[in-house]
Structure 1
Amino acid sequence: MNNIFNSTFEVSLRILIILSEYQDTHISTDTIAAIDFISIYGAEFEISDTNLHGDNIFKFSEFTSRRTLIQQGVKKLVLQNLISVLPSEDGFTYHINNNGRKYINLFESNYAHTYKEMCHKARQFILNRTEKDVLKMINELSIYSLKKRGI
């Protein structure tokens, strides 16, 4: 039996939700990964009372593998013509296209609705921060979390 949790398929669905929140602009895979992480672990960033995926002492160690899954998901979505790619001075950025919007409109679940709300809060949370600052903040929280647990 295949496990869809933390798979490229699951991450691809979350990427589409993130890009629907950012439909007015193009964003990088690192920004997508940061929004995904902040949305899932909103309590750690004080944008939610709970974490969507529950409490996990190793949550910050997930960020690196999540970035890899995000890159794989983005590639899959580009090949499926659900998102568009735009080269920029800093690399590639991505945008949900009409096919992706049609597909995302089919998502009807409590999880998808809650995740979309968290993406909106995460976007507001990082609004006045650079991508570099957001990634640095996640890294610093990761180090703090490990030190707090004596690891």
Structure 2
Amino acid sequence: MKVSNKTITFGSFNSPFEVGLRNLIILAVASPENLDLQRLIYYDYLVVHTSDVGVKDSPPSLHPDTPNRSGEIIVRRKAMQQGLDLMYSKSLLNIVFNEQGISYSASELTQPFLDLFDSSYCKTLRRNALWVTNYFSEYSKEELKNFIEKNIGNWGGEFMYEALVRSVVE
């Protein structure tokens, strides 16, 4: 992390810090609920790509649609775990161990820490996280998994047709 003249940069896209920060926001808006790692992975993707949910009232996606973006779900686990570990090491989230397994929740420091961020990007991220957690809160683990599996092939797939057309035309 570099700080210069009131600008903070956090390194590469989807770094453990960035993923950890997004997940703090998700945990804050979902509070007092505990979320397991798989739900956090799904929510993290959906917060960034809200238009992929495919409903009329979804907020605009935070990041542009890119080809094969659904692969982000698969490769995100390591950065997610590192980000959660980083935030836990700073007492910014709680790890919950119970009969359902391991899950995560906001700590008493989560919201005061997040209040330090007031950029339009963070506000949009919070809006999207609130929308995603509200929209999917009633989905069971199985229902959320089925939703992702049913749609993952479509996310980023719209670029395949364009590539096919270009290859035929050229």
Q: TM-score, normalised by structure 1?
A: 0.88
Q: Select the structure that is richer in helix.
A: 1
Match of 2:47 among 22, 25, 39: 39
Where in structure 1 are there 5+ consecutive unaligned residues? none
Separation in 1, partners of 2:61, 2:98: 33
Question: What are the within-5 Å matches in structure 2 for residues 1-151 of structure 1?
Answer: 3-45=11-53, 46=55, 47-48=57-58, 50-145=60-155, 149=160
- Please give the secondary structure, in 1, of the residue aligned with 2:31: coil
Separation in 2, partners of 1:144, 1:129: 20
Which protein shows a greater Rg?
2
- Please give the secondary structure, in 2, of the residue aligned with 1:93: strand
Q: Is the 8 A contact 2:96 2:102 kept in 1?
A: yes
The one-letter code sitting in structure 2 at the alignment partner of 1:113 is K
Q: How far 1:86 moved relative to its partner?
A: 1.0
Separation in 1, partners of 2:59, 2:113: 30
Total equivalences in the alignment:
151
TM-aligned CA distance change 1:95 to 1:54, over 3 Å: same
Q: Is the 8 A contact 2:23 2:40 kept in 1?
A: yes
Deviations 1:31-54 (A, max 9, x none): 111111111111110353532110
Query: Between the two proteins, what is the percent identity of the paired residues?
Result: 22
Q: How far 1:146 moved relative to its partner?
A: 7.1
Structure 1 residues 104-113 or 137-146, which shifts more? 137-146
Q: How far 1:130 moved relative to its partner?
A: 0.8
Q: Is the 8 A contact 2:65 2:156 kept in 1?
A: no
Deviations 1:49-96 (A, max 9, x none): 532110112110111112322121111111221111110223211111
Q: Is the 8 A contact 1:29 1:74 kept in 2?
A: no
Where in structure 2 are there 5+ consecutive unaligned residues? 3-9, 165-170
Q: C-alpha root-mean-square deviation of aligned residues, in Å?
A: 2.2
Separation in 1, partners of 2:31, 2:59: 27
Where has structure 1 moved over 2 Å in runs of 4 or more?
1-4, 46-50, 143-151
Separation in 2, partners of 1:95, 1:81: 11
